[in-house]
């Protein structure tokens, strides 16, 4: 009996889970939180599987995992790029919520990134695209800078070259470790 196609899509979940728990060990103040997010469109069966790294329950790093075959399709890369930019914006912004605490209404800043830079990686299999956002500047651009979609022409807003390193290569490992080191140093 052949393996169902959906099983292949999830081959990397365990590997990235183990890698992130190695980079952010359980005996530190960091927590690795795997999340399965449903797509915004009911027409799509493309789930969003993310790992959020939290420091004292606040986000410092996001890794969104996609099928390696998605790298060859412009629309899949564009969707991945939009998803990670939206997630960075959501997590970097201030979420103020009124909570009932000991009979007092208190204003709590729940989701604010506790370090100056919120980092993210879009992973399509082992190919990585790195993102970051300066959380101290409300007008900061997410890097790499967004390529606007042309209103009438086809243009590639998420070029394949952005997924320019492989986690299995020494250079890819070094780039990911450099991000982790900067997070550790800032915390």
At 21-51, the pLDDT tens digits run 999 999 999 999 998 876 655 555 566 789 9
Distance in angstroms (rounded) separating the CA atoms of residues 175 and 11: 22
Nearest to 81 by CA among 162, 12, 16: 162
**Angle ∠(17,23,28) on CA atoms, nearest 5:** 105
Distance in angstroms (rounded) separating the CA atoms of residues 166 and 79: 20
C-alpha distances (whole Å) from 165 to each of 11, 46, 56, 125 are: 19, 23, 30, 11
At 109-142, the pLDDT tens digits run 445 788 999 999 999 999 999 999 998 887 889 9
- Residue 115 gets which letter from DSSP? S
Q: Are the CB atoms for 86 and 80 separated by under 8 Å?
A: no
At 51-80, the pLDDT tens digits run 999 998 889 999 999 999 999 999 999 999
Tokens describing residue 173? 């490992």
Nearest to 128 by CA among 92, 171, 86, 85: 171
Distance in angstroms (rounded) separating the CA atoms of residues 158 and 72: 11
């Amino acid at each position: 009996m052949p393996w169902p196609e959906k099983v292949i899509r999830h081959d990397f979940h365990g590997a990235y889970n183990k890698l992130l728990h190695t980079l952010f060990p359980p005996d530190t103040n960091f927590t690795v939180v795997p999340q399965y997010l449903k797509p915004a469109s009911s027409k799509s069966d493309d789930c969003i599987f993310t790992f959020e790294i939290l420091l004292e329950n606040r986000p410092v790093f996001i890794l969104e995992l996609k099928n390696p075959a998605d790298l060859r399709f412009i629309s899949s890369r564009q969707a991945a790029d939009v998803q990670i930019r939206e997630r960075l914006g959501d997590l970097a912004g201030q979420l103020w919520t009124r909570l009932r605490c000991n009979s007092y209404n208190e204003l709590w800043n729940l989701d604010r990134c506790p370090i100056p830079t919120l980092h993210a990686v879009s992973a399509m299999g082992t190919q990585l695209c790195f993102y970051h956002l300066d959380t101290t500047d409300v007008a900061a651009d997410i890097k790499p800078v967004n390529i606007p979609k042309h209103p009438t022409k086809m243009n590639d807003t998420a070029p394949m070259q952005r997924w320019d390193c492989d986690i299995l290569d020494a250079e890819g490992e070094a780039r990911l470790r450099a991000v982790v080191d900067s997070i550790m140093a800032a915390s």
